[in-house]
Amino acid sequence: MYLFIKRVFDILFSSIVLIIVFPIFLPVMILLRLTGEGKIFYIQQRVGKGMKPFGLIKFATMLENSSNMAGGDITTGDDPRVLKVGKFLRKTKLNEFPQFINILKGDMSVVGPRPTTFRNYSYYSESIQSLIKGLKPGLTGIGSIVFRDEESFIKDSKKDAVSFYKDDIAPYKGELELWYSKHRGILTDFLIIFTTAYVVIFPKSEIVHDLFKDLPKHNLFKK
């Protein structure tokens, strides 16, 4: 019943959001067409449920060949591959809105583990890989909220980006997704949606640790 309600909600919520934001999409698409490399959308293969690959849709915020440049799939703060317009889109999270199309198609859900590239998926332990491939990926999730400022963490780390992601970020994200798999349900999903909206408006807020007090701990965070 939970999965049925979740899918109905995904369809209704995504449809409403796309209708509301469509007037914003038009100027963004025109701006992207006239700037940078002239690309409007960026489609990247991500790991879906059951390891089925799907094309994640985003507004183009980085150089088209960025995944083959230094840094690969990992983006850092002040990353030179990010386009000027892209910085604004990434900061406001507007670049993520085309993924509501993925949700309508059934590739993703509103809430779930953040879909990873196949390269980043390999950084998880086998047990976490098995867990993630059993869940439909989400536009937002507990890992997305906790690591909403992931690029800054990577930038400030003394390690190189790939080592820091593999040694520190991926294991903790895995713990967070394990937590979600044990607690997922209608109430948890709605709290995650509320928290996502809240931290977009108040990015310095630590409300996620106040609402979900039993989250696994990590020395990157105060609470």
**CA-CA distance, 162 to 76, in Å (whole number)?**
10
Output the pLDDT for position 51. 94
Is the predicted pLDDT of residue 59 greater than 50, yes or no? yes
- Which residues, other chains included, contact 72 with Cβ-Cβ below 8 Å and sequence gap of 6+? 119, 162
Output the pLDDT for position 155. 75
Output the pLDDT for position 16. 96
150 against 48, higher pLDDT: 48
Task: Give the tens place of pLDDT for each residue, 182-208.
Answer: 999 999 999 999 999 999 899 889 899
83 against 7, higher pLDDT: 7
26 C-beta neighbours (distance < 10 Å), count: 9
∠ CA 67-72-77, nearest 5°, is 105
Entry pTM: 0.86
Task: Give the tens place of pLDDT for each residue, 119-157.
Answer: 999 999 999 999 999 999 999 999 999 988 887 777 777
Cβ burial, residue 79 (10 Å; 0-12/13-18/19+): buried
Spans of all domains in the chain: 2-211
The overall average pLDDT reported for the chain is 88
Is the predicted pLDDT of residue 170 greater than 80, yes or no? yes
Is the predicted pLDDT of residue 223 greater than 60, yes or no? no
What DSSP character marks residue 140?
Answer: E
Across 31-40, 43-52, 206-215, least confident range: 31-40
